[in-house]
Structure 1
Amino acid sequence: MFATGLRCFRCGRVQPFTPSAYLCPHCGAADDDPGILDVLYDYDAIAPAFEQGREKQRPDLFRFLPLLPVNAVGPVLPAGGTPLVAAPRLAQRLGLAQLYLKDETRNPTRCLKDRATAVGVTMALEQGYRTLYCASAGNAAISLAGFCAHLGLACQVFVPHAVSTTRLRWLQRYRAIIHISDGDYDQAYAEAEAAGQEQGWYSRNCACNPFLVEGKKTVALEIGEQLHWQVPDMVVAPVGDGCTLGAIGKGFRELRRLGLADRLPRLLGVQAETVQPVVSRYHGVKVGADRGPTAAASIDVKKPRNYLRLRAELDASSGSMLAVSDAEMEEARCLLACEAGLVAELTSAASLAALFQLARQESLQGKTAVLVITGGRNDGDS
Structure 2
Amino acid sequence: MSDEAIAVRTAYQDPTFTYRYRPELLPEPGGRIDMWRYSRLLPGCDRDPVYPLPVGGTPLRPVPGLREATGAGDLWLKDETTGPTRSNKDRATALVIDIGMRSGATAVTTSSTGNAAIATAVGAAAAGIDAVIFVPEDCRPGKVAHMVAAGAQVFRVREGYRAAFELSRAAAARFGWIDRNTGANPLTIEAKKTVALEVWEQLGRRAPDVAVAPVGDGPTLVGLAKGFRELLACGAIAALPRMIGVQAAACAPLAHRWHGTAAPPLDPAATSADGIAVTVPSIGEWTLDEVRTAGGSFVTVTEPEIDAAVRDLRDLAQVPSEPAGAAAFAGYRSALAMGLVSPDESAVVLVTGSDLSTPPAPGTAPGAAHTISADLDVVAAVMRDRSVAARGGVTGS
- Local SS of the residue matching 2:81: helix
* 1:73 Cα offset (Å): 3.0
- Local SS of the residue matching 1:105: coil
* From 149, 156, 159, the counterpart of 1:180: 156
Q: In the TM superposition, what are the counterparts of 1:35-54 in structure 2 within 5 Å? A: 39-44=17-22, 47-51=23-27
Q: Decide whether aligned partners of structure 1 residues 8 and 177 sit closer, same or farther in structure 2, where only a CA change above 3 A counts.
A: farther
Q: Distance in 2 between matches of 1:58 and 1:130?
A: 31
Q: In the TM superposition, what are the counterparts of 1:1-382 in structure 2 within 5 Å? A: 11=11, 13=13, 15=15, 17=16, 39-44=17-22, 47-51=23-27, 57-71=31-45, 72-76=47-51, 77-291=53-267, 293-362=270-339, 364-379=342-357
Q: Decide whether aligned partners of structure 1 residues 328 and 135 sit closer, same or farther in structure 2, where only a CA change above 3 A counts.
A: same
Q: Distance in 2 between matches of 1:49 and 1:184?
A: 42
- Local SS of the residue matching 1:51: coil
RCO (CA 8 Å, sep 6+): is it higher in 1 or 2?
2
Calculate percent identity across the aligned residue pairs.
34
Q: State whether residues 70 and 122 of structure 1, in contact with CA within 8 Å, keep that contact through their aligned partners in structure 2.
A: no
Which structure would you say has the larger Rg? 2
Q: Structure 2: any 5+ residue segments left out of the alignment?
A: 359-397
- Local SS of the residue matching 1:69: coil
Superimposed CA distance per residue, residues 249-277 of structure 1 (whole angstroms, 9 cap, x where no aligned partner): 11011111112111111111111111001
Q: Distance in 2 between matches of 1:185 and 1:297?
A: 11
Q: Distance in 2 between matches of 1:154 and 1:8?
A: 35
* 1:233 Cα offset (Å): 1.4
* 1:6 Cα offset (Å): 9.4
Q: Structure 1: any 5+ residue segments left out of the alignment?
A: 18-38
Q: What's the TM-score once normalised by structure 2's chain length? A: 0.84
* 1:312 Cα offset (Å): 2.4
Kindly report the root-mean-square deviation, in angstroms, between the aligned alpha carbons of the 2 structures: 2.0
Q: Decide whether aligned partners of structure 1 residues 14 and 104 sit closer, same or farther in structure 2, where only a CA change above 3 A counts.
A: closer
* 1:93 Cα offset (Å): 2.3
Letter of the 2:278 counterpart: V
Q: State whether residues 88 and 98 of structure 1, in contact with CA within 8 Å, keep that contact through their aligned partners in structure 2.
A: no
Q: Distance in 1 between matches of 2:171 and 2:357?
A: 29
Q: State whether residues 343 and 378 of structure 1, in contact with CA within 8 Å, keep that contact through their aligned partners in structure 2.
A: no
Deviates more, 1:172-181 or 1:281-290: 281-290
Q: Decide whether aligned partners of structure 1 residues 374 and 185 sit closer, same or farther in structure 2, where only a CA change above 3 A counts.
A: same
Letter of the 1:350 counterpart: A
Deviates more, 1:68-77 or 1:282-291: 282-291
Tell me the number of residue pairs that the alignment of Structure 1 and Structure 2 aligns: 350
Structure 1 segments, 4+ long, off by >4 Å, are 5-15
Q: What's the TM-score once normalised by structure 1's chain length? A: 0.87
